[in-house]
Structure 1
Amino acid sequence: MVHCKIHNVGFYTPEPRAIYCMSLQRETNKLAISRSDASIEIWNLNDCPFIERTIPANLENFSIEGLCWFGDRLFSVGIHGLLVEYNLQELAIKNKWMVTGESAMCLDICFCKSLVAVGTEQGYINLFSINEDGVNFEKFMDKQEGRIVCINFSKDGEFLATGSLNAIRIWNINTGHAIHRMQLGRIESKKDTVVWCIHFLSDFTIFSGDSRGILTLWDAKLGAQIENYQSHKADITALCLSEEEDSVYCAGVDPLITNYQKVKVGQSYKWVKSIQRKIHEHDVRALVFHKNKLYSAGMDSYLACSYNPPKTLIKYAPVMQVPCVQLASKARLILLRYSNYVEIWSLADTETTKENYKGLVQLTSKPKKLVAIQRLKLNWSGEDEGEGIFCSSISSDGQWILVSTYSGFRLYELEIKKEKPKLTKVDELDDCDKPCVQACFNDKSKQLIVVLRTGTIVVYDLGDGTPFISQTIINTNVFEDTVSLLTVSTCGKYLVVGDTKSNIAIWTQTKDGYTLWNKIPRYPAPPTTLAVNSATACLVVAYSDSKIIEYDIKNREFTSRSRNFNQNLPSNWKTRSNPIRNITFDPRKTNVILLSDDSNLTVISSEKESETEASPSKSKRSTMNGVGSAKVDFKTVQKYKHLVYFNHLNNDELVAVEVNPLTILKKLPPAFAQKTFGTK
């Protein structure tokens, strides 16, 4: 690879959004995560964990206090007093039902009886039955004093355990009455003990964690305490059990994660303290144990995965789903997407250097924030608040900017005169009241391409100044799920669209518009990113299990280099912990592919093709036929931390956008601290 100047962008500083709830769908290995802004991320855990889809923050659903799966359906409750079901394909609220008892604080679902139990602020337990159309209200349990903080069904669905202030209750579902009330002690006489988390075991025992930092084991048949453990110095807010129910993990305001193992002693079993790990520095709000791996999250906004043996810890940064950064290479502008607004920055200019120069390059101008775009809407309090963003895009010349929210998508025209930006909203745009989940610009044809939530592809012509719909592609036979990837080649000829179920289709541009050219063979793992090399007419796709394929679009076949990828992979390639986020190409060397993930930059080159680089026509021909890529070389550079974007600006300039972990740490609230002897 020849020398390049790299713009290291460090002014992308997304707010750390704390993780409040987590819920696991064990059959499909999908982990639902709710954040402090009420957005929901669906993580795919089958191979390398990555964000498969995101439901942006909705001002109508501004709070998520509980999250639960029922098969492939996702439900949540919040302080707005609503039970909400989501449409995961269209990334929207499917239905909502009012709950009696003001704010809904917690929920649990019994799969065997198709029941939803919701605990509320006023002490009501609402029971709903789940059907194909939604849910139906069944009945109330007896009203209790004080709010219900946590709730959990027994394995057979006959009983229900709830935690509240100073007490735990066991309920009979059929009668609606509490059969046991177990009272907890207090540290101070006037300070209530709050039961933050509770879990029913198959042997009809219960684990609970409370504000005293005590983990307690109860006998639900007798309504009596079996054992308690002073496992933490502050509130226990999360606990989880292993699939075999022989191991329990707990954590909370004191972020130390403590493990207890079930050990046989004589003819009985006892729970014995095992290991302790300090993975987080701030409050832990949620724990999930799956396939011998512990997933933990909380106020620091990181999703952590830990397991032993071997002793391993992987932390996934609070970075939004790809693409959250886009480059306008001709205008030297960069678009940075946040949860509810976008920023447009101009990149710095540098001094000219010699071809083989290495080191820092002096800047002749500094990067500058030009505009920030936010779509405001009235929230429940009657105040203006920014709507959550589905997607955003910017054209290569920086003239057009698109931002999509729940209210629809808006197109803006950006004009910069004498370093002063002028932003104009385009009003006359058909179907702009429908949100789009993906969007991109075809700069060669002056087109805007958007994918609506229903999967329909709409093409707008921007050439005459007044945008209008030039083509609508209804792809019901092509895609099966949400479209997650969309790109247009720099030559403007190829349109590539992919969904979360690994369906990837290619359209070519003709005089009559885009025509479906081919659908590449489906791979079992979902794709994480893709890109088209216009110089060779090849599509490169990276999948969640770290597989890389190169597809020859013109010949409709995989290249020989693609077939040799697996034979030349580094030894640690298949054990990668972070998915590939970006793919780019060197415009001066057609045999080079650059891949980037959270911390690594990988350069893939083919040796035989580099030998024929002196003959461009021959090189291109050998690449297309897959002749010159018999040997593939992988080189990895570990230079960055939380690298969210990496791409070419022009022939000799690259842009790397990095989120500094220190900027995340600075924005976090104070962590739990306790005085120790001899210190102040």
Structure 2
Amino acid sequence: MAECVACKQSSMAQYTIHNVRFFDFNPKAIHCMSYDDATSRLALSRTNGDIEIWNCWSRPFMQLFLPGDNDSSVEAMVWCQGRLFSAGLHGFLLEHNLASREVTLRTPITGGPTWCLALSKDKKKLAAGTERGYVCIFDVVDSGVMYDRALEKQEGRILHIAWHISGDYIVTGSVNCVRVWSLKEGRVARCGLGAADRKDEVIVWCVGILDDMTLVSGDSSGRVCFWNAELGTVTHSVHTHKADILALTVCPDQKSVYVAGVDPTIVQVSRVETGTKKGKVEMWVKGIQRSIHTHDVRALVVTATDRVYSGGVDTILTLSYFPPRTVCKFPALPPLGSISVAREAESLLLQYSDHVELWRLGASSKKGGKSGTFLPVTKDRVKLLELQGKDDEVIQWCAVSPKARWIAYLVQGSLRIYHFTPPASGKQPRVQRVKEVSQEIKKSHQMLWLSEGKLVSAAVTGAIQVINVSGSKAELEKELTLSPGHSVLQMTCDLEGKMLAVVDSKNIITIFDIEKETISVLPGHSSPCTAVGIHPLTKEVVAVYADMSIKEYDPSKQCYTAFCRQHLNEPSSELAKKHSVILRVSFDPDRPDLILLHNESAFVVVQKDKMAADVSQEKAPKVKKVTSGSSPGKGAKAGIGAKFSVIRRPNQVLLFSQMKGEAVVSVELNPLQVMDRLPSPLKVKKYGGT
């Protein structure tokens, strides 16, 4: 659905919003997670094999995206000294290069399909549990991993694995069985079995091991069991859930564990001391419960600061901690490169896994009107083009030129470039592939069009290539370089395509003047950058960081602007009220005093002239909430403060960008659309309900 809506963003500007709701974004369930305390990064995989790297140093946000393919399977992941390893049903141990977004290592695992991975506490060894009952040990070395040995084969698959702090013992979970392995002897030292009189088998989905050799297991009966490792017997059993427990994580202090599963309630089980006639006795009891998911929870991790990240079938990454009682939900977002805007042609290029679609947006003959009202659509949206990939191809990135005459997308890092001629005077649209691509053009992981016929590509080698496209040829014009060891995270350019801003993996923002070949580097900032933009008139660079700091930089003077030094010294308290980060920066060429931002739930307008006028005020006036009409009216609220105008949206905002003239486009997703695609959750009878 696309509508034209009149929306008054501020007292000095009025825009027509193209409200796009026909992008069929279908987020997948979260399958497994791994957290690296040293770098504050969270890796999560989804059921289609995609891997997302979230930076959690300040406000969590997706910083990297590693696309999967048709054969991808990610059942387990571990971090080891900044390196990411994964394993799956393909039977290989993979190491992912986060700079090139490629798999740099494929090591076969004895036993085929792999269900779990664990890293020793000294970070020198990896253990993998397989379908055929093998536990394989690998040595982690600088050049990759080296196969060490396979422990004694057991009956049944190894579903979960954990490593003791000493490095001498491993605990595994299987059907009706929890095993303790001695690495010195290479065999099972103790084996705890389920009750023999049970009619149904008990599947041990997850296990853990404490420093005092207490084993912890979560099983299909909804119980958390604590085992004596020396005797192989259960010392305590706590019935925490009404269905299978799929995820378990041990707190850093070893005094509690978190569990969740098909019953999505996250339960904390804590160790307490109770007084008896015989003295003090330790017991495990059910504690804090968090009902923050609607469907199965498949993955849990706890950080060194006792913050719990959880995810599962409902596709939402959730952060929770106490005290104070805090829950932050981060809905799935399409990765960068899924939506590309052709500003001059008022068109959108939408990327799906097997094809791309080019749409021309609708239009209204009526101009202006009351804020928040619908404008009649006199010219409906039109799908101009659909390009299908081959059967085995997965499209990873797409880009369209400003006038929608050139389209490009990536398949396994390789460029596919097309010239598009739109329909005119009764003629059909024409599309022609650029077949001659220079061998100097390297594989890349992202790209954007600087102008018609000029493309910039971030190569997997770390170079930034400027490519000229004309007729049926694509040739390399020049290469731009970052500092050694730095890789591109995101890129943006000005409207003329003469300046390029690059955010790299070391949190450095570099500005390239492509024609003059000059370079300017923004001052460092403690928090990672989430969005950057270049003003079309002043050429000033606006960067927004995860701590909600906004910085404005003048590349010509190589310093922050006077406005930034005077008004943007501290992170915005108005924006800091939300846990989400700014996702995009755009500008209105006709109004140089406005900066347009957006996060996942709202548009934000920075009014520089108003901030300058209110410089004498120490405190901003109270936020006034105004309910508009339909979209952004129905459920949308606008808060007008001294520094920012915030227009809250009822739907999830995937992209918000300035178009030609006084028009903006907002690509949105109704959360109910995602919920309708999810399987039925566990049905629990509630008191007073049916």
8 A Cα contact 2:99 2:487, kept in partner: yes
Q: Cα offset for 1:114?
A: 1.2
TM-score of the pair, normalised by structure 2: 0.89
Assess, with a 3 A threshold, how the Cα gap between structure 1 residues 128 and 635 changes in structure 2: closer, same or farther: same
- Secondary structure (helix, strand or coil) at the match of 1:3 reads strand
Deviations 1:78-135 (A, max 9, x none): 1111111111111110111111112111111114161111111111111111111111
Indicate the larger mover: 490-499 or 44-53: 490-499
Give the equivalent residue in structure 2 for 1:286. Answer: 299
**Matched residue of 1:229: which SS?**
strand
Q: Which amino acid letter does the alignment assign opposite residue 271 of structure 1?
A: W
Is the CA contact 1:52–1:500 (under 8 Å) kept in the aligned structure 2? Answer: no
Counterpart of 1:429 in structure 2 is 437
- Counterpart of 2:509 in structure 1 is 504
Tell me the residue number matched to 1:399.
405
Matching residue within 262, 268, 284 for 2:281: 268
Matched residue count: 645
Aligned equivalents of 1:525 and 1:483: distance in 2? 17
Partner residue in 2 for 1:582: 584
**Which residue identity lines up with residue 498 of structure 1 in the other structure?**
V
Structure 2: distance between partners of 1:262 and 1:8: 53
Find 2:235's aligned residue among 226, 241, 247. Answer: 226
- Alpha-carbon distance, 1:407 to partner: 5.0
Separation (CA, whole Å) in 2 of partners of 1:369 and 1:243: 53
Query: Cα RMSD between the aligned structures?
Result: 2.3
User: CA 1:567–1:543 in structure 2 vs 1: closer, same or farther (change >3 Å)?
Assistant: closer
Q: Aligned equivalents of 1:277 and 1:357: distance in 2?
A: 41
Q: 1:484 aligns with which of 457, 481, 489?
A: 489
Please tell me the residue identity of whatever aligns with 1:494. Answer: M
Q: Provide the TM-score with structure 1 as the length reference.
A: 0.90
Go from structure 1 to structure 2 and tell me whether the alpha carbon gap of 1:678 and 1:608 turns closer, same or farther (over 3 Å shift): closer
- The match for 2:226 is 217
Equivalent in the alignment of 1:413 = 419
Report if aligned partners of 1:494, 1:506 keep a CA contact under 8 Å in 2. yes
Residues in 1 aligned to 2:549 and 2:35: alpha-carbon distance in whole angstroms: 25
Partner of 1:204: 213
Match of 1:19 among 27, 30, 43: 30
Q: Contact 2:206–2:219 at 8 Å: present in 1 too?
A: yes
- CA-to-partner distance for each residue in 1:484-506, whole Å, 9 max, x for gaps? 12122112321222212222212
* 2:519 aligned partner: 517
Amino acid paired to 2:567: F
Contact 1:399/1:415 (<8 A) preserved: yes
Letter in 2 for 1:6: I
1:10 aligned to 2:21?
Answer: yes
Contact 2:443 2:459 in 1 (8 A): yes
**Aligned mates of 2:535, 2:404 — CA distance in 1:** 22
Tell me if 1:530 matches 2:535.
no
Which amino acid in structure 2 is aligned with residue 212 of structure 1? S
2: distance between equivalents of 1:53 and 1:484? 7
- In the alignment, the residues of structure 2 paired with residue 675 and residue 357 of structure 1 have an alpha-carbon distance, to the nearest angstrom, of 46
SS at match of 2:105: strand
Give, in angstroms, the shift of residue 340 of structure 1: 5.0
- Rounded to whole Å, the distance in 1 between the matches of 2:110 and 2:84 is 21
Give the aligned partner of residue 8 of structure 2: none
Q: Which amino acid aligns with 2:518?
A: L
- Cα pair 2:651 2:669 within 8 Å, conserved: yes
CA offset digits 1:519-576 (Å, max 9, x no partner): 2222222211111112111110111211110011222221111113346865343353
State the identity %.
Answer: 31
- 2:95–2:103 CA contact under 8 A, matched in 1: yes
- The match for 1:353 among 364, 367, 378 is 367
- Counterpart pick for 1:594 among 586, 593, 596: 596
Partner of 1:467, secondary structure, is strand
SS of the residue 2:404 aligns to: coil
Is it true that 1:362 corresponds to 2:376 in the alignment?
yes
Residue 350 of structure 1 and its aligned partner are, at CA, apart by 1.0
Number of the residue aligned with 1:35: 46
1:43-62 matches, cutoff 5 A: 43-60=54-71, 62=72
Match in the other structure for 1:571: 573
Counterparts of 1:614-633 in structure 2 under 5 Å? 633=643
- 1:18-167 map, 5 Å: 18-60=29-71, 62-112=72-122, 114-167=124-177
For the residues of structure 2 that align with 1:668 and 1:372, how far apart are their CA atoms? 28
Contact 1:23 1:31 in 2 (8 A): yes
Matching residue within 335, 351, 357 for 1:343? 357
Alpha-carbon distance, 1:507 to partner: 1.7
Contact (CA 8 Å) 1:569, 1:634: kept in 2 or not? no
Measure, in 2, the Cα distance between the counterparts of 1:365 and 1:420: 19
CA contact (8 A) 2:654 2:667 kept: yes
Amino acid at match of 1:460: I
The answer to whether the 8 A contact 1:86-1:95 is kept is: yes
Distance 2:689 2:602 in 1: 41
3-state SS of the aligned residue for 2:23?
coil
Kept in 2, the 8 Å contact 1:485–1:497? The answer is yes
**Residue of structure 1 aligned with 2:466, choices 455, 459, 462:** 459
Query: SS of the residue aligned with 1:136?
Result: strand
Deviations 1:60-91 (A, max 9, x none): 5x111111111111111111111111111111
What amino acid is the match of 2:394?
A: E
Correspondence for 1:619: none
Cα distance in 1, alignment partners of residues 427 and 298 from structure 2: 46
- In the other structure, the counterpart of 2:454 is 447
Question: 529-538 or 670-679: which moved more?
Answer: 670-679
Q: CA deviation at 1:246?
A: 1.6
Gaps of 5+ in 1: 377-383, 612-630
Could you report, residue by residue, the CA deviation over 1:266-291 in whole angstroms, capped at 9, with x for unpaired residues?
43322221122211111100011122
Secondary structure at 2:674 match in 1? helix
Contact 1:407 1:433 (C-alpha < 8 Å) held by counterparts = no
Aligned-partner SS, 1:662: helix
2:308–2:319 contact (8 Å) kept in structure 1: yes
Structure 2 counterpart SS, 1:562: helix
Give the distance between the partners of 1:316 and 1:399, measured in 2 at CA: 36
Look up the equivalent residue of 2:455 and give its one-letter code. Answer: L
Please state if 1:258 is matched with 2:263: no
Name the aligned partner's letter for residue 206 of structure 2. C
Cα contact 1:63–1:79 (8 A) shared by 2: yes
8 Å CA contact 1:568–1:634 kept in 2: the answer is no
Counterpart-to-counterpart distance in 2, 1:327 and 1:69: 36
In structure 2, the CA distance between the partners of 1:632 and 1:405, relative to structure 1 (3 Å rule), is farther
Contact 2:611 2:643 in 1 (8 A): no
Helix, strand or coil at the partner of 2:438: coil
Amino acid at match of 1:506: I
Name the CA shift for 1:596/1:161 in 2 (closer, same or farther; >3 Å): same
**Residues 248, 258 of structure 2: 8 Å contact kept:** yes
Say if 1:659 and 1:432 are closer, same or farther in 2 by CA, change over 3 A: farther
